[in-house]
Structure 1
Amino acid sequence: MRKIIKVILSIALIAAVGEILFAESRYYGGNLCAYEGFHCVKVKSGDTWAKLFPNEHEREIVKRLNRTNLPLYYRSWIVVPRDLKQLTLMDLSPFPDQMETNGQKLVLINLGVHAFGAYGPDGKLVHWGPISGGKGWCPDIHGQCNTVVGQFNVVEKKGPECVSDKFPVETEGGAPMPYCMYFYRGFAMHGSTLPGYHASHGCVRLFFEDAQWLNRHFVDVGTRVILSR
């Protein structure tokens, strides 16, 4: 079952599969409902993450699979692995376990699967997590706000005190960007809320704990970052 899930996550998640029950187009993961190993669950009034998944490890897996750290009342459905009790977080990684990194650390960000992978100098995947990228059009700036793609290097990083110098527009900055890691102009990876779809002005939003881990224990100034769609 783990091998089946790994294949599905590596290949099938990138493409939509027609009209599928629960699959509101903007949310990540709705297409998984059609595959063996997963089922989609309707969220009922009063449901919480802790109520549906009392086990903290299982709860974390489901939240990461759905690419969200927001309360459940924001959702009408979630996708859940059928073999949840037997899975680890790494079983649900959409990235290969090993890749060539030329002896350097690498942060790989795939906007199509809404996820990042952190690879060590030996090319081994050591951690992965959800992301939320640019939502495409931002009314507050009356323009496009896509996440840049390409190969970059981290040029600056700050701690939990990091804030935007541009957003919100009405205050000319001040939005929290804890553990920010800038890699191109104003584009950065940082901790934030993730709704399960692309919702930023172009930055790469991460779970708070992932941003902290990357910032403190993995990313250095100069670490390579590759973004693709």
Structure 2
Amino acid sequence: MDQGMKYKKTQNLRKFTYQFLIGCSLFSFFQCTTSRTEKIPIVQQEVETKEIVSPPVERPVNYHLLASKDTVEWLGSLKTGDTLTALMVLNRVDGWRLKHLDTLVFPDTIGTDIDLYAPFPKFVDDLQDVHKILFVSHYAQAFAVYENGERIKWGPVSLGRKYKPTPTGLFATNWKSKKTHSTINSSWILEWYFNLANFEGIGMHQYALPGFPASHGCIRLYRDDANWLYHWADQWIIENSKVAVHGTPVVIFGEYPYGQKKPWLLLAEDMKALEITPEALTSVTEEYLPTIMERQLKRDSVNLYQTITSL
């Protein structure tokens, strides 16, 4: 069975069970008021009209390395579109930087969106009860957004440089600002900023992606990704100068091989070089899950209270 179909079936099990019980009650009621000869043709007709659709099978993507000096003219002619986006995402750079790289990783298949190249799994069964969570991988220099165990977005990042690495562990989206200034250099303007560690000054925001970890600890993002996360994630709720409700959970994990070959260049040798399995994400999240669920319950309670009082 296709993984996506299996996941959807599992995800909807609770709803199905509830609907099944209601259905049984209704069936019993109508059985008492309708003769058996009238009921059988209806059930048979429903069975005969069911249609089974097989999901499309995606073929694996193979990757190749190209010397940028041999493709400068071609790169310069690329317009905004799927090919340019694929190259930017796979090489973790802004578009204009592509021709300045020594080596490019290039896919043999250009997809209509970047999901085709995602290092993160599409589904994680053990996260089905987590409403919202954001993962950031040092090794892959990438982020992924999950809602109830399903990946709904991913993209490239530039994390902290060797001597200013982005800390790992469980964080939460605290407060946000459409535009703020860096505490390291006031001339650095950080757009679509979301703070993750209030006293350490760690956050995620729009800034240049050069194709390697280059920040002073923050998570650099493309503008569109930073804007999207800015509106998707929840802020904390402060009461009496204390955090009453935490924001969306963020798990930063892994290590980057500073001084070695960029991990995404290894895709030419192994198409699964960056693959993060569902089991790996489960393992990364396991120690934080009790805290995540406790905080989620608190937010759900507050949301429910606000809904009731607004009626």
Q: What TM-score comes out, normalization by structure 2 length? A: 0.55
State how far apart, in whole Å, the 2-side matches of 1:118 and 1:88 are: 16
Shift of 1:54: 4.0
Cross-structure match for 1:174: 187
Match of 2:68 among 31, 40, 43: 43
Q: Which amino acid letter does the alignment assign opposite residue 164 of structure 1?
A: S
State how far apart, in whole Å, the 2-side matches of 1:50 and 1:124 are: 37
Contact 1:101 1:119 in 2 (8 A): no
Q: Tell me the SS of whatever aligns to 1:62.
A: helix
Gaps (5+ residues) in structure 1?
6-36, 138-144, 168-172
CA 1:66–1:220 in structure 2 vs 1: closer, same or farther (change >3 Å)? Answer: same
Shift of 1:177: 1.1
Q: Which amino acid letter does the alignment assign opposite residue 80 of structure 1?
A: F
Contact 2:92 2:212 in 1 (8 A): yes
Cross-structure match for 1:29: none
Aligned length: 181
Instruction: For 1:42-191, list aligned pairs within 5 A.
Output: 42-44=67-69, 46-47=72-73, 49-51=75-77, 53-54=78-79, 56-71=81-96, 72-84=98-110, 86=111, 88-99=113-124, 100=127, 102-120=129-147, 122-137=148-163, 145-159=164-178, 161-167=179-185, 173-184=186-197, 185-191=200-206
* Per-residue CA distance 1:52-75 (angstroms, 9 max, x = gap): x44612210111011111523421
Q: Tell me the SS of whatever aligns to 1:64.
A: helix
* Per-residue CA distance 1:125-148 (angstroms, 9 max, x = gap): 1110000111112xxxxxxx1100
Q: Tell me the SS of whatever aligns to 1:68.
A: coil
Contact 1:48 1:73 in 2 (8 A): no
Shift of 1:2: 4.4
Q: Which amino acid letter does the alignment assign opposite residue 174 of structure 1?
A: S
Contact 1:70 1:194 in 2 (8 A): no
Shift of 1:176: 1.4
State how far apart, in whole Å, the 2-side matches of 1:102 and 1:127 are: 18
Q: What TM-score comes out, normalization by structure 1 length? A: 0.73
State how far apart, in whole Å, the 1-side matches of 2:191 and 2:162 are: 23
Shift of 1:174: 2.8
State how far apart, in whole Å, the 2-side matches of 1:105 and 1:195 are: 29
Shift of 1:227: 0.2
Q: Which amino acid letter does the alignment assign opposite residue 203 of structure 1?
A: C
CA 1:220–1:47 in structure 2 vs 1: closer, same or farther (change >3 Å)? Answer: farther
1:213 aligns with 2:228: yes
Q: Tell me the SS of whatever aligns to 1:205.
A: strand
Name whichever of 56-65 and 94-103 sits farther off: 94-103
State how far apart, in whole Å, the 1-side matches of 2:208 and 2:74 are: 17
Contact 1:165 1:174 in 2 (8 A): no
Q: Which amino acid letter does the alignment assign opposite residue 59 of structure 1?
A: L
Contact 2:84 2:95 in 1 (8 A): no
State how far apart, in whole Å, the 1-side matches of 2:204 and 2:175 are: 11
When Rg is computed on C-alpha atoms for both structures, the one with the higher figure is 2
Gaps (5+ residues) in structure 2?
1-56, 236-246, 255-311
